[in-house]
A and B are shown apart, each in its own frame.
Chain A
């Protein structure tokens, strides 16, 4: 459902991600663990393109959110002038493809320099699969370590802002296309308000609807941030260390809400330091080290039977 493919991420000279493949299935709960700096948060942020991957592709529900990465498509490589030249010079196909991939022979050239066939194929793949980045993000809810509630909006406005803005945008677009629209902008607002109140009730904060986030506790803020993401009815939730910035006594209430969500079948990717929690809720645990996935498997496999020395070392430190 959510697939990242061959993701590299460089910050200047620093390589943070070095080729990560990950496919999250519908309904699956994936926890990502690892030491700070191992690239786990960056990987999560690449999934909804808050960080633009340097190379690689992100696919959401079969639609491409990033530009096409030629190295991930053998037919594209075969269409390139570089490949044709290597083969003409006597190299066999497989070696030529490897050489192009290993030596990054396509990246340095401008689009047109690899020939019309190459450019047309790139364009074709893009046109057939591409989805607008904002549409893609609307299917993914993101929860941040620092909550990032909108300081200039009330709790309720925080929740309704995106549904209302995007609902109205869709309405406008539909009208432009000449479609008949049943809903009015007022309907959209009313619906968003009702949904916000319903969500607030679910977390017991309905009486905080009209206050500003600065008056809430950390735990309350994070719970509001979670339902803000839910208000967009996402297909997958991305949690970026959701409890790291919380006082210990507030961790529980946030984890309980996430557990609740996960049990109701929400597809989730959770970057976390809470090992007990990861063990309890995950279908799959991923251990990242130095920009790559070093170990992955069921919680039992990773926490109890890992062979990876890095993973062992990490777990021995965090699990006492």
Chain B
């Protein structure tokens, strides 16, 4: 394999399959990532709240979910989501796999985000909560007016990193051909048998995506710091 033929192949592949990579692949990768992180932020917050609550059952359930999600490979979670969830929720069986895959991505992201939120809250000096409580404010008010606003400054940058992680993690969803970038790779590779060329293309695209995202996040963080 010479460099010349490698580059020619890439140009030929892109000429024929650019839509598969740029439209479908990147489109679905971003869509899945955004839904996963947005859902993860929502349910992750609920997870974090439940875990801090005094109800032991909730605490145990959430801890179990978080431990299992963090302690098992994403691929395995996807298999379970696609093949076991429909046994529990029959409605899923008639829907395309992307629904089950999305649910798994959201649960996965929720587990990580709940840990991000938990550590973000714990990183706030406990003296802040004590001072608020000592003035007679309720736990609720103290949390909302004092602790959470400070925790968010720790949480948001980590949430950005989670988003970048999820962009890469979605690649495993290609096991079920949901259409994201890695699926594009599988499809085009399956048609052309030009593995390295296709890998190179999706590699460049993944890098471009995460690079742009991390630069954007860094700029946004700087702005936030300047306003603090």
Residues of A within 8 A of B (CB): 48, 50, 134-138, 140-142, 144, 146, 148-153, 161-162, 165-166, 225, 228-229, 232
Chain B residues with Cβ under 8 A from A134's Cβ?
A: 136-138
CA distance A48 to B130 in the complex (A): 10
For the complex with contacts A134-B137, A166-B136, 13 further pairs of A-B residues with Cβ separation under 8 Å are A137-B135, A137-B136, A144-B127, A144-B134, A148-B131, A150-B128, A151-B128, A152-B146, A161-B146, A165-B137, A166-B135, A225-B131, A229-B134
Q: Which 4 A-B pairs have the closest CB atoms?
A: A138-B136, A148-B131, A142-B134, A162-B135
Q: In chain B between 117 and 174, which residues have their CB closer than 8 angstroms to a CB of chain A?
A: 125, 127-128, 130-138, 141, 145-146, 149-150
Is A137 a contact partner of B133 (Cβ separation < 8 A)? Answer: yes
CB < 8 Å neighbour of A162 from B127, B130, B136 = B136
Is A148 a contact partner of B150 (Cβ separation < 8 A)? Answer: no
Is A162 a contact partner of B137 (Cβ separation < 8 A)? Answer: yes
Is B137 a contact partner of A166 (Cβ separation < 8 A)? Answer: yes
Q: Could you pull out 7 A-B pairs where Cβ atoms are within 8 angstroms?
A: A136-B136, A137-B133, A142-B135, A149-B131, A150-B146, A151-B128, A162-B137
Residues of B within 8 A of A (CB): 125, 127-128, 130-138, 141, 145-146, 149-150
Chain A residues with Cβ under 8 A from B149's Cβ?
A: 152
Chain A residues with Cβ under 8 A from B127's Cβ?
A: 144, 146, 148
Chain A residues with Cβ under 8 A from B141's Cβ?
A: 165
Q: Secondary structure of the B side of the interface?
A: helix
Is A152 a contact partner of B136 (Cβ separation < 8 A)? Answer: no
CB distance from A135 to the nearest CB of B (A): 7
CA distance A50 to B145 in the complex (A): 19
- Of B127, B135, B137, B149, most A-chain CB atoms within 10 Å: B135
CA distance A181 to B106 in the complex (A): 48
Is A144 a contact partner of B150 (Cβ separation < 8 A)? Answer: no
Given A148-B125, A148-B127, A161-B145, A140 and B150 touching (CB < 8 A)? no
Is B135 a contact partner of A148 (Cβ separation < 8 A)? Answer: no
CB distance from A221 to the nearest CB of B (A): 12
Given A152-B146, A152-B149, A165-B145, A50 and B130 touching (CB < 8 A)? yes
CB distance from A122 to the nearest CB of B (A): 22
Chain B residues with Cβ under 8 A from A165's Cβ?
A: 137, 141, 145
CB distance from B82 to the nearest CB of A (A): 44
Chain B residues with Cβ under 8 A from A161's Cβ?
A: 132, 135, 137, 145-146
CB distance from A204 to the nearest CB of B (A): 23
CA distance A134 to B138 in the complex (A): 7
CA distance A137 to B142 in the complex (A): 14
Is B150 a contact partner of A151 (Cβ separation < 8 A)? Answer: yes
CB distance from B146 to the nearest CB of A (A): 5
Chain A residue at minimal CB-CB distance from B129? A148
Given A161-B145, A165-B145, A150 and B138 touching (CB < 8 A)? no
- Of B127, B134, B141, most A-chain CB atoms within 10 Å: B134
